[in-house]
Amino acid sequence: MSDLAPALIRVRGLFHTYEPGAGEPVPALRGVDLDVRRGECVALIGGNGSGKSTLAKHLNALLLPTAGEVIVDGLDTRDRDAVWAVRQRVGMIFEHPDDQLIAAVVEEDVAFGCENLGLPPAEIRSRVDEALRIVGLEALRRRPPHLLSGGQKQRVAIAGVLAMRPRCLVLDEATSMLDPAGQREVMETVLRLRRDEGLALVLITHSMEEAALADRVVVLAGGTVALSGTPAEVFARDDALRDLRLEAPPIVALARGLAAAGVALPAGLLTAPQLADAVAAAYRRGRGEA
Amino acid sequence: MIRCEGVTHVYQRGSPFEATALEDVSLEIGAGDVIGIIGATGSGKSTLVQHLNGLLRPTAGRVYLDDVDINAREVDRRRVRQQVGLLFQYPEHQLFEETVTADVGFGPRNLGLAPDEVRERTARALAQVGLDPAVFGPRSPFSLSNGEMRRVAIAGLLAMEPRMLILDEPTAGLDPASRREILDHIMRLRNARGLTIVLVSHSMDAVARLCRRVVVLDRGRVVAQGPTRDVFADPARLAALGLGVPQVAECARLLRERGVPVRPDVLTVEEARRAILDVLAGVAGRRPAPKKVP
Output the CA–CA distances (angstroms, integers) from residue A145 to A84, A102, A141, B172, B248, in the order listed: 26, 8, 9, 23, 35
Domain presence at residue A29: yes
What is the pLDDT, as a whole number, of residue A24? 79
Q: pLDDT digit string (tens) for B17-73?
A: 788 899 999 999 999 999 999 999 889 999 999 999 999 999 999 999 999 999 999
Q: Please indicate whether, in this complex, the C-beta atoms of B273 and A47 are within 8 angstroms of each other.
A: no
Output the CA–CA distances (angstroms, integers) from residue B134 to A78, B100, B123, B145, in the order listed: 45, 10, 8, 17
Based on the fold, state whether residues A88 and A199 are members of the same structural domain.
yes
Based on the fold, state whether residues A158 and A93 are members of the same structural domain.
yes
Which residues from A are below 8 Å from B279, CB to CB? 283
Mean pLDDT throughout B223-232?
94
What is the pLDDT, as a whole number, of residue B293? 53
What is the pLDDT, as a whole number, of residue B78? 87
Domain presence at residue A13: yes
In angstroms, rounded to a whole number, what is the distance separating the alpha carbons of residues B6 and B60?
7
Which residues from A are below 8 Å from B273, CB to CB? 254, 257-258, 261
Based on the fold, state whether residues A195 and A261 are members of the same structural domain.
no
Output the CA–CA distances (angstroms, integers) from residue B273 to B130, B269, B291, in the order listed: 31, 6, 12
pLDDT at B174 over 60: yes
Q: How many domains does chain A have?
A: 2
Based on the fold, state whether residues A104 and A129 are members of the same structural domain.
yes
CATH number at residue A139: 3.40.50.300
What is the pLDDT, as a whole number, of residue A1? 47
Q: Which domain holds residue A135?
A: 7-248
Residue of B nearest to A150 (CA): B41
Domain presence at residue A141: yes
Based on the fold, state whether residues A30 and A115 are members of the same structural domain.
yes
The reply to whether A181 touches chain B by the CB within 8 Å rule is yes
Output the CA–CA distances (angstroms, integers) from residue B117 to A224, B108, B124, B159, in the order listed: 45, 8, 10, 10
pLDDT at A241 over 80: yes
What's the length of chain A? 290
> Which of B102, B53, B61 is closest to B81 using CA atoms?
B53
Based on the fold, state whether residues A264 and A216 are members of the same structural domain.
no
What is the pLDDT, as a whole number, of residue A2? 47
Domain presence at residue A2: no
Indicate the SS3 state at residue B249.
Answer: helix
Q: pLDDT digit string (tens) for B192-219?
A: 888 999 999 999 999 999 999 999 999 9
Based on the fold, state whether residues A205 and A193 are members of the same structural domain.
yes
Domain presence at residue A53: yes
Domain presence at residue A209: yes
Least confident of A5-14, A209-218, B88-97, B199-208: B88-97
Based on the fold, state whether residues A115 and A186 are members of the same structural domain.
yes
What number of C-beta contacts closer than 8 Å exist between A and B? 124
Based on the fold, state whether residues A173 and A273 are members of the same structural domain.
no
Q: Using CA atoms of B110, B113, B119, B125 in order, give the dihedral in degrees to the nearest 10.
A: -70
Residue of A18, A44, A48 for testing the chain B interface, max B β-carbons within 10 Å? A48
- The helix (H) or strand (E) run that includes residue A218 is strand A216-221
Domain presence at residue A124: yes
Based on the fold, state whether residues A179 and A86 are members of the same structural domain.
yes
Domain presence at residue A1: no
In angstroms, rounded to a whole number, what is the distance separating the alpha carbons of residues B170 and B156?
14
| Mean per-residue pLDDT of chain B | 91
Which residues from A are below 8 Å from B175, CB to CB? 46-48, 50, 206, 245-246
Query: Cα–chain-centroid distance for residue A204?
Result: 5
Based on the fold, state whether residues A191 and A263 are members of the same structural domain.
no
Based on the fold, state whether residues A193 and A290 are members of the same structural domain.
no
